[in-house]
Structure 1
Amino acid sequence: MVDKQHTIIRKIIHIDMDAFYASVEQRDNPEYVGKPIAVGGSPEGRGGVVATASYEARKFGVRSAMPSKEALRLCPDLIFIRPRFAAYKETSSYIREIFSRYTDLIEPLSLDEAYLDVTNDKLGIGSALEIAEQIKKAIFDELQLTASAGVSINKFIAKIASDINKPNGLTFIGPSKVETFIENLPVEKFYGVGKVTAKKMQSLGLFKGADLKKLSESDMVRHFGKSGSFYFRIVRGIDNREVQPHRETKSVGAEDTFPYDLTTPDEMYQELSKIAETVANRLEKNELKGRTLTLKVKFSDFRQITRNHSFQSLIGDQQTILETAKSLLNNVDLQDKKIRLLGITLSRFDLVMQAPQVESEQLKLFDS
């Protein structure tokens, strides 16, 4: 049983659209229905990246964030489609309108994902599970799309629950089930635990929540730094974070560590082009533009520098991002230097549209 003395019990729903970009494309283009499609960059030339893949493509192992060339190798019949962000935004706005029928406490994480606090819902339904069912039905009936939902007492559990029965899933984890659920949860399934941290946990003999629960908070902090306190609370079902309709995102960026050191300007420009595309896509998806662009450069000896440029007006298009990053790089002394990492970050945002901000913990480019 959850320690109620330290836990705030809320009614939280996490909604995650199923293969959102790909599903919108299949809805709007009947010729794609039932076929393996990937929304993202073309595999031609140096190749792009898959933003999302239809479930038909996923059967072949095609996944979000996968290089398009690798995706094509796995699925030779894969159809590549350039993103249509205007269509996705329009659909996302409609989905948010459906959410707002039930609550004003909506925290979008991206165009296709959001938390809803329905502890006190507008219609007086009272049951978070019933509200989640109604939202899923409205999305399907009105938009011909499916969504998966997780329902629980806090954001952490609801987020994980929404991923359990994808696609078109609905998972409810009530207060009496939370602690058992977390104890049996593999550490790599914990939201916020990346591959590196998961491997470290496993190397320490920590494979499930029950293993984490054996550690004291000081042990957690010693092994995992500041995140240790968060893990300590989470394995006990304690997550008192509120659903925040207007979270502030301070920066959006992307970086890449290369399999080999870059030594020529052409190589550097080609890699900057891919990074600029990723940043532009993230900005577009989350309806953001910024005024300050920062270039990050890490050399082969691990020395790191940053250079930035501020604009009078808001920018967010790929071409401006790329040309600015190239200009900043040209002002770096590269004589006899080798580069192992490049990164681009945009900051000082204003909203392009009056939509709630995405969660700053994890700015999602690739949808599930």
Structure 2
Amino acid sequence: MNADHRVIALIDMDCFYVQVEQRLQPEFLGKPCGVAQYYTWKGGGLIAVNYEARNFGVKRGMRGEQAKELCPDFHVFHVQEVNGKANLTRYRDASADVFRVLNANFKLVEKASIDEGGKAGERVMELFQVEYIGQLRKYSLDALQTSMGEKDGYWLFNLTRGIETTAVNSRNLYKTISASKNFPGKTCLDTIDKIRIWCHNLAEEIFNRLEKDRAEVRNYFIKV
């Protein structure tokens, strides 16, 4: 299809982790909720918050207890843990359900994470003091290219006008898969036995995910 006549629909799975939990426990639909990872210090760290909770000032990154101070009716779902590590299987499975529906109805479906603009986005926001892409429309092509370079400036100029010719590529298979965990402070791995246990746990997680997806691995790496 000619890029000038195509239509690209963006489906944003808003506060997705919360939606997954509410689907399993519908009695919490319409109520302020969030998902926290780990049960440790002050109720765990919030990794997803729905709009009902955001209306009270609750934000991602807060602790569960802090959120309850702002919103006494706030309900916290906790990510399941397996072998002392967050188990995201529930959310991966729900995501797979969504893409099965999309792939059954559309020829081209590209999966992308758009929560953050990355370093390039941060640079644009800082240079031009903007929050939304549409706010760049007031800048001329010359101004954008002077600050961002000829190629990026031209791309931003077109983007603010709804012009984007990058092809949509179906990405149903992932190129990499990983499992990791941080061990700060007192949780550090200070013995060989602890290291062996966690190497086994992380390898087992990778194995289970590969087996479930019937995927084969060509190369593997260990990052310390």
- Is the TM-score greater than 0.5? yes
Q: Are positions 1:41 and 2:44 aligned together?
A: no
Q: Larger helix proportion, structure 1 or 2?
A: 2
Q: 1:354 to 1:249 in 2, by over 3 A?
A: same
Higher relative contact order (CA 8 A, sep 6+): 1
Q: Are positions 1:18 and 2:22 aligned together?
A: no
Is the 1:41–1:50 contact (alpha carbons within 8 Å) kept by the matching residues of 2? yes
Specify the SS of the correspondent of 2:156.
Answer: helix
Q: 1:197 to 1:65 in 2, by over 3 A?
A: farther
Residue 144 of structure 2 is matched in structure 1 by 220
Could you state the TM-score of these two structures normalised by the residue count of structure 1? 0.40
Residue 81 of structure 1 is matched in structure 2 by 77
Specify the SS of the correspondent of 1:107.
Answer: coil
Specify the SS of the correspondent of 1:17.
Answer: coil
How far apart, in 1, do the equivalents of 2:174 and 2:146 lie? 29
Cα deviation, 1:91-118, whole Å, max 9, x if unaligned, reads 22221111112223211125xx8xxxxx
Is the 2:39–2:78 contact (alpha carbons within 8 Å) kept by the matching residues of 1? no
Residue 210 of structure 1 is matched in structure 2 by 137
Identify which of 89, 93, 96 aligns with 1:90.
Answer: 93
Q: Larger strand proportion, structure 1 or 2?
A: 1
How far apart, in 1, do the equivalents of 2:4 and 2:108 lie? 16
Tell me the CA shift for residue 239 of structure 1. Answer: 1.0
Tell me the CA shift for residue 57 of structure 1. Answer: 1.1
How far apart, in 1, do the equivalents of 2:183 and 2:4 lie? 46
Residue 197 of structure 1 is matched in structure 2 by 124
Tell me the CA shift for residue 234 of structure 1. Answer: 1.3
Residue 53 of structure 1 is matched in structure 2 by 49
How far apart, in 1, do the equivalents of 2:30 and 2:39 lie? 22
Cα deviation, 1:284-303, whole Å, max 9, x if unaligned, reads xxxx21xxxxxxxxxxxxxx
Tell me the CA shift for residue 67 of structure 1. Answer: 4.6
Specify the SS of the correspondent of 2:67.
Answer: helix
Specify the SS of the correspondent of 1:39.
Answer: strand
Tell me the CA shift for residue 202 of structure 1. Answer: 2.8
Could you state the TM-score of these two structures normalised by the residue count of structure 2? 0.62
How far apart, in 2, do the equivalents of 1:224 and 1:249 lie? 31
Residue 266 of structure 1 is matched in structure 2 by none
How far apart, in 1, do the equivalents of 2:65 and 2:124 lie? 29
Cα deviation, 1:174-196, whole Å, max 9, x if unaligned, reads xxxxxxxxxxxxxxxx9677455
Tell me the CA shift for residue 18 of structure 1. Answer: 3.1
Q: 1:99 to 1:24 in 2, by over 3 A?
A: same
Identity among equivalent positions (%) equals 29
Map 1:73-152 → 2, pairs under 5 A: 73-84=69-80, 85-109=88-112
Amino acid at match of 1:104: K
How far apart, in 1, do the equivalents of 2:5 and 2:170 lie? 19
Q: Are positions 1:72 and 2:68 aligned together?
A: yes
Is the 2:141–2:153 contact (alpha carbons within 8 Å) kept by the matching residues of 1? no
- In the alignment, structure 1 segments of 5+ residues that lack a partner are 1-5, 114-158, 160-189, 252-287, 290-315, 328-348, 356-368
Amino acid at match of 1:57: A
Identify which of 129, 137, 155 aligns with 1:230.
Answer: 155
Specify the SS of the correspondent of 1:222.
Answer: helix
Is the 1:41–1:68 contact (alpha carbons within 8 Å) kept by the matching residues of 2? no
Q: Which moved more, 1:24-33 or 1:191-200?
A: 191-200
How far apart, in 1, do the equivalents of 2:14 and 2:37 lie? 20
Task: Provide the aligned length of Structure 1 versus Structure 2.
Answer: 183
How far apart, in 1, do the equivalents of 2:14 and 2:28 lie? 16
How far apart, in 2, do the equivalents of 1:354 and 1:238 lie? 39
Cα deviation, 1:59-82, whole Å, max 9, x if unaligned, reads 212233445454333223322222
How far apart, in 1, do the equivalents of 2:156 and 2:31 lie? 41
Specify the SS of the correspondent of 1:13.
Answer: coil
Identify which of 58, 65, 71 aligns with 1:62.
Answer: 58
Is the 1:7–1:237 contact (alpha carbons within 8 Å) kept by the matching residues of 2? no
